[in-house]
Amino acid sequence: MEKFKNCEMSLEEIKKVCSSLDYSAALVYNATEDMVIQACKDAREMKYAAVPVFPNYIPIVARELKGTGIAPQLVVGFPSGGASSLIKQKEAEQGIKDGAGEIDMVINVGRLLGKDYAYVEQDIKGVVDVAHPAGITVKVIIETGFLQDTDKIEAVKIIKAAGADFVKTCTGFAEGKATLHDIALLKAYAGPDLKVKASGGVTTLEDGLAFMKAGADRVAGRNPITNQLRSMGIYSL
Residues with catalytic function:
104, 168, 197
Contact 146, 170 (CB under 8 A): no
CB burial of residue 64 (10 Å; 0-12, 13-18, 19+): buried
- Prior bond to 224 cis, omega within 30? no
169, 183 in Cβ contact below 8 A?
A: yes
CB count in 10 Å sphere of residue 6: 8
- Comparing CA positions, the residue from 104, 116, 193, 100 lying closest to residue 142 is 104
